[in-house]
Amino acid sequence: MISPRLILASASPRRAQLLAQLGFDCEICPQDIDESRWEGESPASYVSRMAREKARSGSTQLLDLTGVLIAADTVVSLGDEVLAKPESPEQAEDFLLALANTTHEVRSAVCVVASDGNSSLTQIGEAVSLTRVTFCSVSRGEARRYWLTGEPQGKAGGYAIQGLAAAFIRSIEGSYSGVMGLPLFETAALLKKAGLDCLPPMEAWEQ
């Protein structure tokens, strides 16, 4: 039984699934924050700030608990342009066509905060994974058909690496789970630092 309680400051089912892959059950606690990008803010600074602000927002719910909160954000960028979640079929098609035959960057930031249950919070740390994703050629017809699957909706950059978009991805350099939304290597390291180890203790095997 893993303790203390683990709270995920996100509504993303993919992040919850990735935590489950590490053996963690989590409580879903999405945060409503202003996700506007500041003028001149780089994709790297933006994704880190979003993760920190989600953690700061969610931390108030930790004050009376013994628990750990994890916040994360993912940003897809092509140069300095950030490709957010598409707001229309046309924008989703434009995103996919812009990514075609290019290499873009996906950054996922993770921020972890712990509480001892006595209104004392500890900033465990934060980490950012950087992954370079290379797409093959994509026609407008393919982009339109991809939108009709429903998969691009609600996805940063307008695609899901774990879904049908895999057919467009020639190669990745970095973290596959990071592109999904939660880099597991960095996440496991931060959670271990907070006292949550994904590997069972030796005693569990000796019984």
Say how many Å lie between the first and final Cα of the chain, rounded.
15
pLDDT tens by residue, 35-85: 999 999 999 999 999 999 999 998 887 777 788 999 999 999 999 999 999
Residues identified as active-site: 73
Going residue by residue through the chain, which has 207 residues, state the pLDDT in tens, using 9 for 90 and above.
445 789 999 888 999 999 999 999 999 989 989 999 999 999 999 999 999 999 999 888 777 778 899 999 999 999 999 999 999 999 999 999 999 999 999 999 999 999 887 778 889 999 999 999 999 999 999 999 999 999 999 999 999 999 999 999 999 999 999 999 999 999 999 999 998 988 877 665 665
Distance of alpha carbon 116 from alpha carbon 40, whole angstroms: 38
Query: 19 with 8: CB under 8 angstroms?
Result: yes
- What confidence score (pLDDT) does residue 66 get? 81
pLDDT at residue 1 in the model: 41
Angle at alpha carbon of residue 129, lines to 125 and 132, rounded to 5°? 170
Which of 73, 70, 15, 9 lies closest to 41, judged by CA? 73
Instruction: Just give the CATH number of 5-206.
Output: 3.90.950.10
Whether the upstream peptide bond of residue 4 has omega within 30° of 0, thus cis, is yes
Global pTM reads 0.91
